[in-house]
Structure 1
Amino acid sequence: MKLFFRLLALPPLALLLAAVVLLAHEQAVASASRRVANVAYVAATAPDFDPQNHRLDIYQPKKAAAPRPVVLFIHGGSWNSGSKDNLLYRAIGRRLAKQGFVGVVISYRLSPQALVPAQADDCARALAWTVAHIKEYGGDPARIVLMGHSAGGGLAALLATGSDTLLAKHGLPRTAAHAVLLDDPAGLDMLTYLQKQEYEGDAQYLIPFTRDPAVWRQASALYHVRAGAPPYSIYIGGETYPSISSSGERFRQQLTQLGQPPKYTILPGKKHVGMVTQLFFESNELYAELKRLAQ
């Protein structure tokens, strides 16, 4: 984000030149990958099929190789906004492919049409589709790393440490995810968050999470942490929202108590939005961490 505002402050000619350089760079990144767009991960005959949101994009490296590790990316957006078609998420997909992954960037149904348990179910269905079909696109179904930012981080955590019924419902084993990277995850403990409602605007989350405390608990990964979970890497912005940093720390403690301490990294100075916009840059350390997790 800082780079964006610096660019805006440039004189018109310099700004034009910078835009040309960025465009050329983006085209070079895109040329190294192949995008297969709008693949349905829910059967069109399903009674709840959403033709807009039950879709995913696949980003493949153009260079042929042995089956590649896979990153399934779940976007954020406060559970009521966002799409795989966002230009930033497309850029992330292309960068994943350039790093040697098969990138799978998904959409899912949003609030108020779909509540968080249904959104988690959508993500589980997208994971099941990926396990079943990613070989056709050069990916290794045994090396799927789940990755999510913000609300997407909370959903990714639910898939990896959530109740076994969420996975078993779609024929997935507990080990469906090889590893997990949470990028400033939101919603890890909505039970505590909605019980307190200590911040202005918190009532808005009673729509996607309902007014039922049982749902708040069901949709919070913190209460489903179990032994045998896949390896976790958690990145928290040093200047993110207090609720994210505090719930992230409690999640770390839960995993540690089970003998599975995650790699836990606080990035100084990073705000919540900056934790995802940093992924525009190929040299970002989260890409290096994904490579480590995929081994």
Structure 2
Amino acid sequence: MSYVLLAMGLLFALTAANAYAPRRSPVLLAASFFVGWLTIELAPHVLVAWAAATALLAAFGGLDGWAGWTGLVLAVLGIAGVAATLAASRRTVVTLHDSGAPLELDPEGAPRYPLGHLIVPPLCLVPRKGVRVERNVVYRQEGRLRLKLDVFRPAGERADGELRPGLMQIHGGAWVIGDKREQGLPLLNHMAVQGWAGFNVNYRLSPRATWPEHLIDLKHFVAWYKEHAEEYGADPDFLCVTGGSAGGHLTAMVALTANVPEFQPGFEDADTTVQGAVPFYGFYNFFEPGTFPRPFGTTRLMERMVVKQPFAENQETYAKASPVTYLREDAPPFFVIHGSRDSLIPAVEARRFVERLREVSGSPVLYAEMQGAQHGFDVFPSYRTARVIEGVERYLTGLHRQYRQGRTPEVPDEVTRSLGEPSVG
């Protein structure tokens, strides 16, 4: 039993070390991310399970001999390491404050994220009380192509009869996997409780789809929204967009390429502008080296599955697929969110994008780098996720209030200047 405790203690210590410093080598990248992701974002559950397992082995003879005591020390070190990641997540509110997010917006009237979801994460798959979900609404149909979305909105109508602000959610999955049923659920549920109409949108995936078909599909949704929003109680003139990972890249592309004819074949005259963007841990530059030794466009994923063109001979194509190519003064407001321990897309990529966008854009560009967070941190309804979701809701609600007042944000803190109006819901 002592050697079992030794093996378990070693596993705990290595797992905690990986959560603190994830491996970025090609061989270990996927496994390191997956294990670190679960360890960090489910830290309270991991701590309880590890402590219970350690105590159980110790009680049944695990401390007989040097191996058991060594295992106990390693297990305690591992538990302490995971506890440190949990402590880092407690700085989420400080990070959001420093970013400029208006956390004080309606501090008394805004519901907090439900504690039960933090204790039992799968509860986020169930619509929250007061939220109505309409699934598999077809927003684009051409021949055999049928693209669908799910609508999240309050169960009742607004008391004042006004239309609700809309939010488009784009799932991630490296442009090749993913589905509307899997991502964005904690955010969409919370936004619906706060009076928003959320649209979780599917789009064609590679390798069947070739870039820019992914973006074209999402542009079709924006055009569809302008025509059909009122059927779901939403304002066709107010739509924000959010998404994570590949969805973060596509969020930025949707926001920055409004009305670009190349991405709207056959519906060039449709208005595809959005009023705000919140990309989570996205990729923003395919054609310039950054934290990687080579441009991301040179990867097998991009050359063979997504863009399907050799990078060397088609660098302009990869530039056109990069949000940094479309930075402009009239860009909509951005709230960029990334994790400091993201092993798939390092945070420096987000920092570089934010710096360039701030140099050009006349709208607010907020950036929150979540300390200790891995890629995909918001999939689980953790403490960090709950606070980030609340911050995003306050930010987008501030933008909507300015829209109702006929004003356009000009500086990052302007979203906090209209606190006197009633909340959206």
With normalisation by structure 2, the TM-score equals 0.59
Q: Gaps spanning 5+ residues in structure 1: where?
A: 13-17
1:94-243 mapped onto 2 (5 Å cutoff):
94-162=189-257, 164-165=260-261, 166=263, 170=267, 171-173=269-271, 176-186=273-283, 188-193=284-289, 196-197=293-294, 202-206=299-303, 207-210=305-308, 211=310, 212-241=314-343, 243=345
| CA contact 1:185–1:244 (8 Å) conserved in 2 | no
Which amino acid letter does the alignment assign opposite residue 209 of structure 1?
Answer: V
Distance across 1 between alignment mates of 2:353 and 2:238: 23
The residue number in structure 2 matching 1:22 is: 120
For these two proteins, the number of residue pairs brought into alignment is 281
Distance across 1 between alignment mates of 2:187 and 2:169: 9
The residue number in structure 2 matching 1:42 is: 140
Distance across 2 between alignment mates of 1:252 and 1:262: 7
The residue number in structure 2 matching 1:288 is: 394
**Is 1:6 aligned to 2:44, yes or no?**
yes
| CA contact 1:183–1:276 (8 Å) conserved in 2 | no
Identify the match of residue 76 of structure 1 among 156, 167, 172.
172
Which amino acid letter does the alignment assign opposite residue 62 of structure 1?
Answer: A
The residue number in structure 1 matching 2:150 is: 57
Q: Gaps spanning 5+ residues in structure 2: where?
A: 1-37, 54-115, 402-425
Which amino acid letter does the alignment assign opposite residue 144 of structure 1?
Answer: L
Identify the match of residue 163 of structure 2 among 44, 50, 67.
67
Distance across 1 between alignment mates of 2:125 and 2:247: 27
Report % sequence identity: 22
Larger fraction in strand: 1
> Residues 25 and 204 from structure 1, CA distance in 2 versus in 1: closer, same or farther, beyond 3 angstroms?
closer
> Residues 266 and 42 from structure 1, CA distance in 2 versus in 1: closer, same or farther, beyond 3 angstroms?
same
Cα deviation, residue 249, structure 1: 2.3
> Residues 25 and 80 from structure 1, CA distance in 2 versus in 1: closer, same or farther, beyond 3 angstroms?
closer
> Residues 142 and 114 from structure 1, CA distance in 2 versus in 1: closer, same or farther, beyond 3 angstroms?
same
Which amino acid letter does the alignment assign opposite residue 134 of structure 2?
Answer: V
Cα deviation, residue 132, structure 1: 1.2
Distance across 2 between alignment mates of 1:141 and 1:130: 6
The residue number in structure 2 matching 1:15 is: none
Cα deviation, residue 276, structure 1: 4.2
Deviates more, 1:239-248 or 1:145-154: 239-248
> Residues 137 and 220 from structure 1, CA distance in 2 versus in 1: closer, same or farther, beyond 3 angstroms?
same
Which amino acid letter does the alignment assign opposite residue 247 of structure 1?
Answer: E
> Residues 24 and 74 from structure 1, CA distance in 2 versus in 1: closer, same or farther, beyond 3 angstroms?
closer
> Residues 220 and 131 from structure 1, CA distance in 2 versus in 1: closer, same or farther, beyond 3 angstroms?
same
Which amino acid letter does the alignment assign opposite residue 151 of structure 2?
Answer: I
Larger Cα-atom Rg: 2
Distance across 2 between alignment mates of 1:7 and 1:257: 43
